[in-house]
Copies of this chain bind each other. A is one copy, B any other.
Amino acid sequence: MTKCQNCRHAGKHGFCSLGEDAKAFMDTNSVTMEYPRGSVLFREGDRPSAAFVLCSGKVKVSASSREGRTMILRIADAGDVLGLSAALTNGDHEVTVEVLEPCRARVLPLKFLHNLLRDYPDASLGAAKVLAVDYRAAFDEARLVSLPGSPAGRVARLILDWAAEAKKNSAAFVTMTLTHEEVASMTATTRETVTRTLSKMRKEKVISTHGVALTVLQPRVLEQMSAC
């Protein structure tokens, strides 16, 4: 049986770095669930019933307008906590969370979550840190979409962000598993523009791609594009 007490994400994220007793409390009061690709943890507008701690896999966090326009806020992975802001503010979920790569997640029912926060001070501090991460993701998305003048600039910025992330994990290249459509949703543009922008970057040797592997050849040029 999977337990929080021997989780290797310990220390990295808000709810994975709790004290032993809080973790034991989590182990006895929550269950681990498996979710296949395509399943939805919760939808925008849903009344929250639980928060989720991702143990493995990747999920897409998005919001959309009635007209079908979609904004992808971020791609979350192991250690990230989903649905906490709605749980804390007693409001409905403001985002939809959909599984991209098969996931294992710890499910924390609302009532249990509130008890956890009430009884374990490090849990509420952990919650604050989780919220800080959520905030940062939303802020970065707002910044990404607002600041660079052109769609091409936003795509450039996104690639730079990915490259920085890849570097942190000491990877030589970026693994781009998103479709152009999804990239468009993260950069407030259209699929065609993403395709064209990437084509142009390839032609001008600013990036190179082999399948899902994307390598940044001239970061300076991307910087310049994204700043304009």
- Interface positions of A (Cβ within 8 A of B): 63-67, 69, 71, 73, 85, 88-89, 94-95, 117-118, 121, 124-125, 127-129, 131-136, 138-139, 141-143, 145-149, 188, 227-228
In the bound complex, CA of A106 to CA of B17 (Å) = 31
In the bound complex, CA of A133 to CA of B85 (Å) = 9
Contact B142–A145 (Cβ < 8 Å): yes
A-B contact pairs, 10 of them (CB 8 A): A65-B148, A65-B227, A67-B228, A69-B147, A71-B143, A94-B139, A124-B124, A131-B134, A135-B138, A138-B141
In the bound complex, CA of A121 to CA of B63 (Å) = 33
Contact B69–A149 (Cβ < 8 Å): yes
Number of copies: 2
In the bound complex, CA of A63 to CA of B141 (Å) = 12
A121 and chain B: residue at smallest CB distance? B121
In the bound complex, CA of A125 to CA of B125 (Å) = 7
Contact B89–A142 (Cβ < 8 Å): no
Known: A64-B147, A121-B124, A124-B125. A139 touches B138 (CB 8 A): yes
A139 and chain B: residue at smallest CB distance? B138
A134 and chain B: residue at smallest CB distance? B135
**Set of chain B residues within 8 Å of A117, measured between Cβ atoms:** 125, 128
In the bound complex, CA of A147 to CA of B118 (Å) = 37
> Smallest CB–CB gap between A138 and chain B, Å?
4
A-B interface, 7 closest residue pairs, ranked by CB to CB distance from nearest:
A131-B131, A138-B138, A71-B146, A142-B142, A135-B135, A128-B128, A138-B139
**Set of chain B residues within 8 Å of A67, measured between Cβ atoms:** 227-228
**Set of chain B residues within 8 Å of A133, measured between Cβ atoms:** 89
> Smallest CB–CB gap between A93 and chain B, Å?
12
**Set of chain B residues within 8 Å of A124, measured between Cβ atoms:** 121, 124-125, 127-128
In the bound complex, CA of A145 to CA of B134 (Å) = 18
In the bound complex, CA of A94 to CA of B138 (Å) = 12
Contact B85–A146 (Cβ < 8 Å): no
Contact B131–A132 (Cβ < 8 Å): yes
> Smallest CB–CB gap between A220 and chain B, Å?
14
**Set of chain B residues within 8 Å of A228, measured between Cβ atoms:** 67
